[in-house]
């Protein structure tokens, strides 16, 4: 239940999805008053109401009740709709308030929205996320923040309610730029692991034997261990990030590279690995399941063992 110990900021929240629900829950449980946009999926909404949050029917009403509004949706198109659409934030944002975009968004869109909001004395901060819904619920996410020094200092106590690491990477837009670079690495790893596992199978090396060499060696890392939990254990929830979202993020990366005249062949190769899986109907499957698809199109069975 919210209390009055952190009442200097009135928090608004839009996007109680896999990541957003955990973030919003931590903000409320650690003392901030919170207003959130209602949603058809009633489970997270009812949980937030039980914790003391207030539900309203439009983004504009969230804006009217808040000094800091967090947006945690899929990408730029959804963020633009939340801000500019019918009943959107822009209709009721108060001068001096802050909009914090925790989505993985296109930096070109981010900068256009930042200029638009600055004209009405509202600051846009980008604070995209790293890690998984598990860490969101535990309050130990990573976030990379694009903001002025003054604005970062203002928001840091709120970030600390749900982030284990809040890294100030630069000015507005730099958070989303860094997030795309972060996801280029992680999704690039996923494409590489998937192809390596398929090739291993082709030459008679099982996933378990492959893992016995990589795990605890120089090529091991936390992302590898999470990724392998699907193939080795059948843990479908190890990394709840869809293949469709992976394509979206790598498309944003491609756009960012194009905007500065950068040749990005590895980014395009990774994007195409995910795009092939999405085209085959796997858009709502999760990132570690790319290995199963890459194996299948190469005649290698990388389906995980059946759980007992």
* Same domain as 225, residue 182: yes
With 0.95 as the threshold, say if the pTM is over it. Answer: no
**99 falls in which pLDDT band (50, 70, 90)?**
very high
Query: Does 308 map to a domain?
Result: no
- Mean pLDDT across the chain: 95
Query: Does 305 map to a domain?
Result: no
Q: Is the pLDDT of residue 33 over 90?
A: yes
Query: Does 218 map to a domain?
Result: yes
Residue 163 sits in a domain whose CATH number is 3.40.50.720
Pick from 18, 13, 19: nearest CA to 32: 13
Both structure tokens of 233: 């254990």
According to the model, what pLDDT value does residue 51 have? 98
* Same domain as 240, residue 226: yes
Of the candidates 90, 94, 179, 271, the residue annotated as catalytic is 179
Residue 242 sits in a domain whose CATH number is 1.10.1040.10
% of the chain beyond a pLDDT of 70: 97
> How many degrees, rounded to 5, is the angle at CA 189 between CA 289 and CA 257?
115
Q: Is the pLDDT of residue 6 over 80?
A: no
DSSP letter at 124? E
Residue finishing a domain among 113, 148, 172: 172
Q: Let me know: does 115 contact 83? Beta carbons within 8 Å.
A: no
* Same domain as 184, residue 248: yes
179 flagged as catalytic: yes
Question: Three-class SS string for 205-247?
Answer: CCHHHHHHHHCCCCCCCHHHHHHHHHHHHCCCCCCCCEHHHHH
**4 falls in which pLDDT band (50, 70, 90)?**
very low
Tokens 């980008």, residue located:
126
According to the model, what pLDDT value does residue 69 have? 98
Pick from 197, 130, 142, 188: nearest CA to 166: 142
* Same domain as 51, residue 18: yes
**pLDDT tens digits along 228-259:** 999 999 999 999 999 999 999 999 999 999 99
**pLDDT tens digits along 137-167:** 999 999 999 999 999 999 999 999 999 999 9
Residue finishing a domain among 125, 153, 172: 172
b/e 292-302 (16+ beta carbons within 10 angstroms → b): bbbbbeeebeb
Locate the DSSP E strands across the chain: 11-14, 34-37, 54-56, 68-71, 98-101, 123-126, 129-130, 141-146, 163-170
d(CA 200, CA 273): 17
Query: Does 104 map to a domain?
Result: yes
Query: Does 199 map to a domain?
Result: yes
Residue finishing a domain among 116, 138, 172: 172
Both structure tokens of 269: 């190769």
* Same domain as 148, residue 50: yes
Q: Which domain holds residue 140?
A: 11-172
* Same domain as 38, residue 55: yes
CA torsion 132-142-249-270 (nearest 10°) is -80
Angle, helices 174-202 vs 222-233, to 10°: value is 40
According to the model, what pLDDT value does residue 144 have? 98
* Same domain as 114, residue 49: yes
**Length of the chain (residues):** 308
**pLDDT tens digits along 249-306:** 999 999 999 999 999 999 999 999 999 999 999 999 999 999 999 999 999 999 998 8
DSSP secondary structure of 26-59: HHHHTT--EEEE--S-HHHHHHHHHTT-EEESSH
Other C-beta atoms within 10 Å of 271: how many? Answer: 23
How many domains does one find in the chain? 2
Query: Does 306 map to a domain?
Result: no
* Same domain as 81, residue 99: yes
DSSP letter at 131? S
* Same domain as 222, residue 149: no
SS3 content of the chain, % helix, strand, coil (to 5): 55, 15, 35
* Same domain as 55, residue 160: yes
**pLDDT tens digits along 50-94:** 999 999 999 999 999 999 999 999 999 999 999 999 999 999 999
* Same domain as 187, residue 165: no
User: Within its chain, how far is the Cα of 75 from the centroid?
Assistant: 9
Query: Does 5 map to a domain?
Result: no
* Same domain as 284, residue 140: no
**7 falls in which pLDDT band (50, 70, 90)?**
low
Pick from 208, 197, 211, 227: nearest CA to 294: 197
Query: Does 148 map to a domain?
Result: yes
* Element housing 133 (H / E): helix 133-138
d(CA 150, CA 170): 12
Q: Is the pLDDT of residue 3 over 50?
A: no
């Amino acid at each position: 239940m919210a209390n009055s110990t952190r009442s200097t900021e009135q928090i608004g929240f839009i996007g109680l999805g896999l990541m957003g629900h955990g973030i919003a829950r931590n903000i409320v449980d650690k003392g901030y008053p919170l207003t959130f946009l209602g949603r058809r999926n009633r489970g997270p909404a009812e949980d937030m109401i039980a914790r003391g949050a207030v539900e309203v029917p439009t983004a504009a009403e969230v804006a009217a009740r808040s000094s800091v509004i967090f947006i945690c949706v899929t990408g730029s198109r959804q963020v633009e709709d939340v801000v500019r659409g019918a009943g959107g934030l822009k209709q009721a944002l108060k001068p001096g308030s802050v909009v914090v975009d925790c989505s993985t968004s296109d930096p070109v869109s981010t900068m256009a929205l930042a200029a638009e909001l600055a004209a009405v004395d509202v600051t846009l901060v980008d604070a995209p996320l790293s890690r998984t819904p598990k860490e969101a619920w535990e309050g130990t996410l990573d976030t990379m923040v694009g903001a002025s020094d003054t604005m970062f200092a203002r928001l840091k106590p709120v970030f600390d309610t749900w982030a284990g690491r809040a890294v100030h990477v630069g000015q507005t837009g730099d958070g989303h730029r860094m997030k795309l670079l972060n996801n280029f690495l992680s999704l690039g790893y996923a494409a590489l692991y998937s192809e390596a596992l398929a090739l291993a199978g082709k030459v008679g090396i099982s996933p378990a034997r492959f893992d016995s060499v990589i795990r605890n060696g120089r090529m091991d890392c936390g992302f590898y261990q999470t990724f392998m939990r699907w193939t080795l254990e059948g843990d479908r929830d190890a990394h709840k990030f869809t293949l469709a979202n992976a394509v979206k993020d790598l498309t944003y990366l491609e756009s960012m590279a194009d905007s500065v005249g950068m040749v990005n062949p590895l980014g395009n190769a990774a994007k195409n690995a995910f795009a092939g899986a999405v085209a085959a109907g796997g858009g709502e499957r999760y990132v570690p399941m790319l290995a199963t698809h890459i194996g299948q199109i190469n005649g290698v069975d990388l389906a995980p063992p059946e759980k007992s």
